[in-house]
Amino acid sequence: MFLLIGAGPRVKEIGESQTMICPACGRFSRMTPYVERSELRLFFIPVFKWKKRYLAVAGCCGETFLLDPEVGRAIENGEPATINETNLEFLSEPPVLCEHCKKPVDTTHKYCPHCGKEI
């Protein structure tokens, strides 16, 4: 006899993508809402869930944002809710944008690789 037990996060898309200006790269893109839960699984069946959080992933640059729990719950329940900059929070440090072309740049560069202007 053997027993299969697993623990870890599970991510699931919870609603329709919404279009907006991405706070990370400044491009017009879609934000896809997800819910992430940590769970204990017995024979691949979740038996205990904890640490639920809502995420939004930008389609343009792949940046992941923490979504306000109230907005996430509303989207998960099928209620009308809008994702905007006020209910998003960066999970990592926000990228540095070129002041000329507004594209993300590495802080070690002296010139923007996109527009060629000095940073």
Question: Looking at the predicted structure, is the pLDDT value of residue 93 above 80?
Answer: no
Structural domain contains residue 113: no
pTM: 0.74
User: What is the tally of structural domains in the chain?
Assistant: 1
pLDDT at 2 over 90: no
pLDDT digits (tens, 9 = 90+) for 23-69: 988 899 999 999 999 999 988 888 988 999 999 999 998 899 999 99
In a domain, 49, yes or no: yes
pLDDT at 88: 95
In a domain, 105, yes or no: no
Q: How far is CA 94 from CA 11, 61, 87, 89, 91, in A?
A: 23, 12, 15, 9, 8
With CA atoms as reference, report the closest residue to 32 among 63, 1, 69. 63
Mean pLDDT of the chain: 89
**Do the domain assignments include residue 34?**
yes
Within-domain flag for 84: yes
Report residue 71's pLDDT band, with 50, 70 and 90 as the boundaries.
very high
pLDDT at position 70: 96
Residue-number span of the structural domain to which 23 is assigned: 5-93
Measured from the Cβ of residue 5, the count of other Cβ atoms closer than 10 Å reads 9
Residue 46 lies in a domain: yes
Q: Is residue 101 part of a domain?
A: no
Residues in the chain: 119
User: Is residue 117 a part of any domain in this protein?
Assistant: no
